[in-house]
Structure 1
Amino acid sequence: MDYQVHFSLTIRSFDGKTAAFLSKQMNLPFVPFIGLRLAQANGASEPVVSVAWDEVSQSFQCHIDAHEAEMPAACRLGLDYLVQAAKDNGWQGAGKIYELAAG
Structure 2
Amino acid sequence: MTTLHLEHSAHTHTHGPDCGHAPVPHGDHVDYAHDGHLHREHGGHWDECEPGGHVAHQEHAHQHGQDCGHESVLHGDHVDYVHDGHRHAQHNGHWDDH
Larger strand percent: 2
Q: Please, what TM-score do these two structures have when normalized by structure 2?
A: 0.26
Larger helix percent: 1
Q: Please, what TM-score do these two structures have when normalized by structure 1?
A: 0.25
Larger radius of gyration: 1
Question: Whose relative contact order is higher, 1 or 2, with alpha carbons under 8 Å and at least 6 apart?
Answer: 1
